[in-house]
């Protein structure tokens, strides 16, 4: 096990935990915000497990993920806008808890073109899942206002996909043919 990589992974993970904690619990003004704890568990426990697995099974992939940087100006803009959206959305979740603006009812319950599996249905299945995840996050956190803020995410994502597909057409052999074969970007029969 690479000690430097392990330290980098743990530090970035802890920084993420601290940042999300501060964005949720400072505005909430309380540690009794159980939706915040639930969200952090749902987000960070699987993330921690994946990092450990990558550390053991594929440290190079973990290293590339930890050091990933966007080079495309449009992708940088998309990432910046996404960051602002998350910042505002999480802070509003905490404030919504503190001031009870709108309370939701709770229920107790080397790259190559891949055209099989989910990639045979939509071209960006991972983005499809992130839409569900990011639109569910404010609901898990109990904030309809933040849900409305997070509705910006599909718009930001559409901009990212438009630019990403342009780059893939130029740089990934077979991507133009793949687009002809798999017609839908995110949602089958819709878009």
For every one of its 191 residues, what pLDDT tens digit does the chain have, with 9 covering 90 and above? Answer: 688 888 999 999 999 999 999 999 999 999 999 889 888 988 888 888 888 888 888 888 888 878 877 778 888 888 898 899 999 999 999 999 999 888 664 633 466 777 777 788 888 888 888 888 888 888 888 888 888 888 988 888 888 888 888 878 877 778 788 888 888 888 887 87
Q: What are phi and psi of 103, to 5 degrees?
A: -105, 125
Q: Which two tokens mark 87?
A: 């910042």
Q: Quick check: 42 and 133 in contact, CB under 8 A? A: no
């Amino acid at each position: 096990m690479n000690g430097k990589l392990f330290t980098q992974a743990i530090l970035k993970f802890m920084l993420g935990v601290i940042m999300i904690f501060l964005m949720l619990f400072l505005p909430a003004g309380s540690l009794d915000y159980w939706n915040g704890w639930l969200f952090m568990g749902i987000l960070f426990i699987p993330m921690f497990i994946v990092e450990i697995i990558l550390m053991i099974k594929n440290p190079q992939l973990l290293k590339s993920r930890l050091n990933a940087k966007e080079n495309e100006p449009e992708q940088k803009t998309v990432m910046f806008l996404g960051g602002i959206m998350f910042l505002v959305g999480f802070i509003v979740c905490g404030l919504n808890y503190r001031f009870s603006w709108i309370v939701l009812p709770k229920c107790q319950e080397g790259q190559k073109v891949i055209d099989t599996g989910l990639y045979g249905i939509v071209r960006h299945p991972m983005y499809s899942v992130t839409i569900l995840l990011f639109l569910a996050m404010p609901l898990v956190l109990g904030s309809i206002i933040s849900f409305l803020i997070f509705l910006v995410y599909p718009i930001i994502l559409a901009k990212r996909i438009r630019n990403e597909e342009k780059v893939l057409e130029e740089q990934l052999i077979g991507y133009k043919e793949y687009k002809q074969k798999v017609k839908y970007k995110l949602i089958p029969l819709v878009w």
